[in-house]
Amino acid sequence: MPLIDYSVADGVCVLRLNAPPFNWITLPLLDELRVAVRRANLDAEVRRLVIMGDAGRFSAGADVALFRDIRSAEDAVRISRIFQEAFQEIEDSAKPVVAAVAGKTPGGALELALACHGRVCEPGTLFSMPEVTLGINPGAGGTQRLPRLVGVEPALNLLLTGQALNADAALALGLVDAVCSADDLVRCASSVETLRKTRESADRIADHTANAAALAAAVQRDAATGRPEFVAPSAIIEAVQTGLSESFEAGLRAEQDQFARCMATPATRNKIYVFFARRDLAKVPDLTGISARAVTRVAVIGMGSMGVGIAQAVMQAGLPVTVTDADPSALENGRQRIRESLEKRVAQGRLSPERLTKMLTLFSATTDWQEIGRADLVIEAVFEDVAVKRTVLGQAGRAVSDHALIASNTSTISLDTLAEGVKQPERFVGLHFFNPAQVMPLLEVIRRDGTSAETVASAMQFAKTLGKTPILVRNREGFVVNRIFIPYLKEAFSLLEDGAEASAIDQAMVAFGFPMGPLTLIDMAGIDILALTDAVLRRAFPWHGDLSAIVAAMVEGGWLGQKRGAGVYLYASGNRERRANPAAQEIFAAERQRAGKLPRTVGADEITQRLVMRMVAEAFRVLEEGLAQRESDIDAAMVLGSGFPDWRGGGLKYARDLGLENVLRQLEMLEKQLGKRFAPCKMLREIKGT
Ligand code: NAD
C-alpha cells in the first residue's frame, strides 16, 4: 500500500498521506513524499500540489519511535538532516505546494506544513510544537521557518511552551492563509494566492531590536526555571538565534547539533521512555480478540469529592450520567459544583457556552434505584468502608440489567472483599480515579481473578472514552499508585518525627522534580485520608510499619489540612498562601519527645534518599508481585498518578539509572537504620546484576 495517494483533477495534484491510523511521518513516508513531489513537477497536467491527510486528520507528526532508536550524536544529526532535506525539497518545488491541514497538527506535521508555500486548515485544527515537552528541539526546520512566518516572539512562545494554537489564532498570526470547512479544503487550498517560500520571508524578522528582546526574555525565563537537566529550551533558543544572526542554512545545522545535544541527555531519554511507557499502558495482549461492550449511560453512587468529579468526567465525554447519594443535599451540591467547574472552563475559553448547555443536560440526580438500574455502568464512590460499600454494591447489582458493569472507586480495599456483595462478580471491576477525577489523566482499572475478560476490555475502553490513560492492574490493596505513594507520604511524617523541618521536606522533593512536596499534598488531600488508607495498607503489608503518631495527634486536634484551614501548614482564608502552623509544630515536638527522639538536623540528602528509596523499595515489590503488566507500566503510573518527574523516568527507571547494585546497598543500609520498610524484595536482590 502506498503511503502517499497521488491524484490529479483540474490541474491540482492532491498528495494524500495514507499511513493510518495517525499518519505518523516515518522515513519511508518522507521518501514517498519526495518522489511524489518530483512526479507532480514533471506531470504536465499539474499546476499546483496540495498535501493533506484524511478527514479530520493531517498527521500526528514525526514517528517518535525514530527518536527512541537514536544511539549516537551521528544518528541524531542524520535523522534531523533527512527530515530537513525532505522538507527542503518540498519548499524548492517549482510548482506551488499548499498544505491542507486538519485535526491536531503537532511537531513534524506542522514543520511539513511550514515548508509548503501556503497553508489552509479546518476550523478545529490545533497547531503545536510539543517537542520541548519531550526534551528536544524541533529538528525539521521548525525553529527556522516558524519565526520567519509568524515573528520571533510568537514563535518562541509556541516552541518553548508546546502549547497549541487554534485555527483562528493561527490565521491571526499568519500561520495559515485561510480557514475553511472540511468539504471545501481542497478548493480553498487551490485558491490561496500569496504563495512564497517560508525561508525567504523576511518581513516578520526584520525588527532586530524586537528579536533581540524576545530572545533575551526567553533566555531569562529558561534560567528562572532552575532546571539545568533540561537543555531543550536553550537548544531551541540557540537554533533560533543562529538562524537569525547567521543564515537559514546555519540555523538548520544548529538545529541538527542541538537535537543531538538534547538526545544525549538522560532527562530527554527518560522523557522518551515515559512517552512509550504511557503508550504501552493501553496494550493488553491477553485481551486480543475480546470485544468491549460500549458504555452509553453511567450511574454514580456517592456525590462526595470523587463522585462529583467522576460524574463531570463522564459528562465531559458526552455521556449521560445519573447520580445518587444517601444524603439528598449532596445531590444539589454536586450539580452545583459541576456547573461551577464547567463554567470556569467556559470563562477560560476551554469550553464553548453551547457545549456547556448541552453538557448540563446530561446530568440527572435521583433517589430511585430503578433509575440507577438503567445504566450500563454503575460506579460506586461512597465512603471507604467495607460494610457501606457492600450494601451499595448489592443494591446496584439487583437494580441493573444482566449486561451492566459494576465498578468500585475504592482506593485501598481489595475487590475480593467487596465482591461478596455483588450479584454478578464477573462483571465487577475496579475503576480507581484520582482526585480531581475530571482532570487527572490516569485511571487504574483493577481486575480480580473472577473479572471476565469482556468486563476488563469494556472498562479499558470506557477509560479511553473519558480521555483517560488506563493502567490495568491486578487486585491487591492500594493497587499500584497508592501502594507506592502512601508509604512515601508516611515517610514524610517519619522524617518530621526525626526532626526534619516541614518546609525542608517539601523543598527537597520539589528540588527532586515533584510538582509539590508530600506535606503540601497531604494538606490538600486531608491528613485523615492518610490515616484511613494507611490502616488498610498496613494490615495487608505488615512491613510498612507504624504511621508516625504525629498523624493521629493532628487528626485528633482537627488539623486536617486545607479543608479546615490548617494542617501541617496554616492557610490564609480565601487563598492557598501558607505558613508554618505553630500548633502543628508543637505536635511534632511533643511526639518527637514522646518517641524518645533527640532533636537532630535532618539534611536535604537524607530527606531525599529516604523518601525516594521508600518508593523504590515498594515499586520493586509491586513488580515482583506481578500487579502490573510490565515494568514500564509502574513507571508510567508513578509519573501520571503521583507526579514522579518524567525526566527521571519513574521510580524503577530511576533505580536502574542509579544502578541496582547501588540501590540495593542504599536499601540495606536504610533497613539497618530504620527498619523493615526499606528491605529490598527478593526480586531486587536477584535482578541487581542484570
Ligand atoms: P466523600 O466522603 O467525599 O463522599 C462519599 C459520599 O458517599 C458522601 O456524599 C456520602 O453521603 C455518600 N454515601 C455514603 N454512604 C452512602 C450510601 N449508602 N449510598 C449512597 N451514598 C452514600 O468520599 P470521597 O473522597 O469522594 O471518596 C469516595 C470513594 O472514592 C472512597 O472509596 C475513596 O477511597 C475513593 N477515592 C478517594 C479519593 C480522594 O482523594 N478523596 C481518591 C480516589 C478514590
Annotate 453-518 with DSSP letters as a single string. HHHHHHHHHHHHHTT-EEEEEE--TTTTHHHHHHHHHHHHHHHHHHT--HHHHHHHHHHHT-SS-H
How far, in Å, is the centroid of ligand 1 from the Cα of 517?
25
Phi-psi group of 363: left, alpha or beta (phi > 0 → left; psi -120 to 50 → alpha; rest → beta): beta
How far, in Å, is the centroid of ligand 1 from the Cα of 390?
13
The pLDDT value recorded for residue 576 is 61
Q: Does residue 528 line the site of ligand 1, with CB under 6 A?
A: no
Q: Does residue 365 line the site of ligand 1, with CB under 6 A?
A: no
Question: What separation in angstroms does the CA of 50 have from each of 2, 12, 84?
Answer: 17, 7, 19
Q: Which of 279, 262, 250 is nearest to 79 (CA)?
A: 262
The pLDDT value recorded for residue 599 is 78
Q: Does residue 388 line the site of ligand 1, with CB under 6 A?
A: yes
Q: Does residue 418 line the site of ligand 1, with CB under 6 A?
A: no
Separation CA 646–CA 138 (nearest Å): 20
The pLDDT value recorded for residue 473 is 97
Count Cα neighbours of 79 within 13 Å in the Cβ-side half-sphere.
24
For the CA of 383, the nearest atom of ligand 1: 5
pLDDT band (50, 70, 90) for residue 689: low
pLDDT band (50, 70, 90) for residue 61: very high
Separation CA 200–CA 188 (nearest Å): 24
Q: Hey, which of 303, 411, 532 would you mutate to test ligand 1's pocket, going by the most ligand atoms within 8 Å of its Cβ? A: 411
* Residues belonging to the chain: 690
Q: Does residue 430 line the site of ligand 1, with CB under 6 A?
A: no
The pLDDT value recorded for residue 307 is 97
Per-residue DSSP letter, 325 = -
Question: What separation in angstroms does the CA of 658 have from each of 612, 616, 654?
Answer: 12, 11, 6
Per-residue pLDDT tens digits for 169-187: 999 999 999 999 999 999 9
The pLDDT value recorded for residue 1 is 84
Burial 141-155 (b: 16+ CB within 10 A, else e): bbbbbbbbbbbbbbb
From 91, 238, 444, 497, the catalytic residue? 444
Provide the CATH topology of domain 482-626+659-687.
N-(1-d-carboxylethyl)-l-norvaline Dehydrogenase; domain 2 (1.10.1040)
Question: What separation in angstroms does the CA of 509 have from each of 304, 435, 560, 577?
Answer: 30, 20, 21, 19
pLDDT value at 575 more than 70: no
Per-residue pLDDT tens digits for 622-647: 999 999 999 999 999 999 999 999 99
Per-residue pLDDT tens digits for 404-442: 999 999 998 999 999 987 888 999 999 999 999 999 999
Contact 131, 64 (CB under 8 A): no
Separation CA 404–CA 3 (nearest Å): 42
How far, in Å, is the centroid of ligand 1 from the Cα of 306?
6
How far, in Å, is the centroid of ligand 1 from the Cα of 379?
11
Pick the CATH number of 4-264 from 3.40.50.720, 3.40.50.1220, 3.30.950.10, 3.90.226.10: 3.90.226.10
Contact 555, 582 (CB under 8 A): no
SS3 string, 162-226, reads CCCEEHHHHHHHCCCCEECCHHHHHHHHHCCCCCCCHHHCCHHHCCHHHHHHHHHHHHHHHHHCC
Domain range list for the chain:
4-264, 289-478, 482-626+659-687
Report helix angle 604-624 to 651-658, nearest 10. 110
**Regarding predicted confidence, which is higher, 110 or 227?**
110
Per-residue pLDDT tens digits for 10-34: 999 999 999 999 999 999 999 999 9
Indicate the pairing of strand 377-380 with strand 104-106. unpaired
Q: Hey, which of 300, 301, 305 would you mutate to test ligand 1's pocket, going by the most ligand atoms within 8 Å of its Cβ? A: 305
How far, in Å, is the centroid of ligand 1 from the Cα of 305?
7
The pLDDT value recorded for residue 89 is 98
Provide the CATH topology of domain 289-478.
Rossmann fold (3.40.50)
The pLDDT value recorded for residue 574 is 61
Q: Does residue 304 line the site of ligand 1, with CB under 6 A?
A: yes
Contacts of 28 (CB under 8 A, 6+ apart): 3
Q: Does residue 46 line the site of ligand 1, with CB under 6 A?
A: no
Q: Does residue 307 line the site of ligand 1, with CB under 6 A?
A: yes
Residue 679, Cβ density class (10 Å: 0-12 exposed, 13-18 middle, ≥19 buried): middle
Per-residue pLDDT tens digits for 541-552: 999 999 999 999
The pLDDT value recorded for residue 690 is 54
From 411, 458, 581, 642, the catalytic residue? 411
- SS3 at position 227: coil
Q: Is residue 581 annotated as part of the catalytic site, yes or no?
A: no
Contact 228, 174 (CB under 8 A): no
- What is the pLDDT of the chain when averaged over all its residues? 95
Separation CA 516–CA 210 (nearest Å): 36
Compute the average pLDDT of residues 447-468: 96
**Regarding predicted confidence, which is higher, 690 or 95?**
95
Contact 389, 409 (CB under 8 A): no
- Chain position carrying cell 501502594: 483
The pLDDT value recorded for residue 538 is 96
Q: Does residue 325 line the site of ligand 1, with CB under 6 A?
A: yes
Per-residue pLDDT tens digits for 268-306: 999 999 999 999 998 999 899 999 999 999 999 999 999
Separation CA 81–CA 252 (nearest Å): 8
How far, in Å, is the centroid of ligand 1 from the Cα of 299?
14
Q: Output the nine-digit C-alpha cell for 378.
A: 454503575
How far, in Å, is the centroid of ligand 1 from the Cα of 447?
21
Compute the average pLDDT of residues 310-330: 97
Contact 313, 319 (CB under 8 A): no
Contacts of 538 (CB under 8 A, 6+ apart): 544, 545, 546, 547
Q: Does residue 367 line the site of ligand 1, with CB under 6 A?
A: no
Q: Is residue 482 annotated as part of the catalytic site, yes or no?
A: yes
From 128, 384, 409, 432, the catalytic residue? 432
How far, in Å, is the centroid of ligand 1 from the Cα of 456?
23
pLDDT band (50, 70, 90) for residue 195: very high
How far, in Å, is the centroid of ligand 1 from the Cα of 410?
9
pLDDT band (50, 70, 90) for residue 688: low
Q: Is residue 191 annotated as part of the catalytic site, yes or no?
A: no
CA distance between the termini of the chain: 42
Instruction: Give the dihedral of Cα atoms 267, 270, 274, 280; nearest 10 deg.
Output: 160
Report which residue type is found at 137. Answer: N
- Per cent of the chain over pLDDT 90 is 92
Q: Does residue 301 line the site of ligand 1, with CB under 6 A?
A: yes
Q: Is residue 444 annotated as part of the catalytic site, yes or no?
A: yes
H or E segment and range at residue 532: helix 527-540
For the CA of 306, the nearest atom of ligand 1: 26
For the CA of 433, the nearest atom of ligand 1: 43
- Chain position carrying cell 478545529: 124
Q: Give the distance, in angstroms, between the CA of residue 17 and the centroid of all CA atoms in the same chain.
A: 28
The pLDDT value recorded for residue 373 is 95
Separation CA 14–CA 565 (nearest Å): 62
From 93, 234, 482, 494, the catalytic residue? 482
Separation CA 300–CA 384 (nearest Å): 15
How far, in Å, is the centroid of ligand 1 from the Cα of 434?
12
Separation CA 263–CA 137 (nearest Å): 9
- Per cent of the chain over pLDDT 70 is 99
Q: Does residue 450 line the site of ligand 1, with CB under 6 A?
A: no
Using a cut of 0.85, tell me whether the model's pTM lies above it. Answer: yes
Q: Output the nine-digit C-alpha cell for 37.
A: 513531489
Compute the average pLDDT of residues 208-218: 97
The pLDDT value recorded for residue 193 is 93
| Residue whose CA lies nearest to ligand 1 atom number 36 | 411
